[in-house]
Homo-oligomer: A and B are copies of this chain.
Amino acid sequence: MKSRGEFGFIDYIKTHFPDQAGVIGIGDDCAVIPAGEGELLFSTDLLMEGVHFLRSESSPEDVGWKAAAVNLSDIAAMGGTPVATFLSIALPKDAQGEWAERFIEGYTQISRKYDVPLLGGDTTSSLRDIAVNVGVLGRCPSGKRLIRSGAKVGETIYVTGPLGDSAGGLQAILKGIDRIEDVEILINRHKRPVPRVFEGKVLMETGRVGAMMDISDGIASDLRHIIKASGVGAVVALDKIPCSSQLRSVCAGQDWDIYELAISGGEDFELLLTGPEGLKRYVEFPLYAIGQIVAGDDLVWTLNDEPVDSMYVGYKHF
């Protein structure tokens, strides 16, 4: 497909995100949004070809979905409601036609699912690699946003869903293993992560959560952020970390270390939070209790109630 040119591409994007009353979206120097009430949340994530995705492995639609998903997840992590996204995209010559339009299809799918308009951004050329930056604006009632520093001694540590699927899917891609059905499910979890926007908002509304964040770098790394910010320690039972039946089955077949994938593998985008023992009573979705916040500043892993050495660390980019 021939490229429509930069301004043609912007017009193409606009057909997917029509104007909204009271808001100025794509097409002026800035987007304009009424300030509204409460507090504003803002987050941004940059995805680079070759680091975050491979054109040979991820469809443009998948990259578009994921670029928005990881940002919506940051709003979910604070218990907020996403209001708008902003997309900057740098495209080398061979991605300016079909690739770009299919990317917008995937971006539009998730934007519609969460009812979040794209209100602005930037389009530019790139010498070699595709770069995609998404910014997201959200809202939360004043003082209600859930941050990393709120964990208190005695609280239970929860996650909202199984961990390790995304890392298992990535490993399956990288090792080129047979794509039986269980493997495809893991790969789909890697390519089309589901931000826990609904769950985050409900958890915020309970008023009972201590600290919350989303699991993007792997729980071993992410939980350290919570205990450092909160000035507490944590004990986590490896054997209580939820893992999907698909991950169990694939790890058994491939002789992969399921704990390593579940603990150090990133990009599950489940929520990690602390709260009272009975928190599950206040929500209608699964919450998995995996450990306790304790005094001190250590993160201790246990297996069958015995401490284990852990060489598991989360992902750092450099």
Contacts and interface: CB of A to CB of B under 8 A. Distances in A.
Interface of A: 3, 5-7, 9, 24, 27-52, 74-75, 77-78, 80, 84, 86, 88-91, 93, 96, 119-129, 131, 133, 135, 137-140, 142, 145, 147-149, 213-214, 229, 316-318
Contact of A126 (B39, B89, B129, B316): B129
A317 B93 CA distance: 10
Nearest to A133: B133
Total copies of this chain within the assembly:
2
Contacts of A142: 34
A27 B78 contact: no
A276 B128 CA distance: 47
Contact of A39 (B32, B39, B96): B32
A121 B93 CA distance: 27
Contact of A38 (B5, B9, B35): B35
Contacts of A6: 316-318
Given A6-B318, A30-B75, A42 B124 contact: no
B127 A29 contact: no
B74 A30 contact: yes
A142 B32 CA distance: 10
Contacts of A39: 32-35
A118 B125 CA distance: 26
Given A46-B131, A124-B51, A147-B24, A30 B36 contact: no
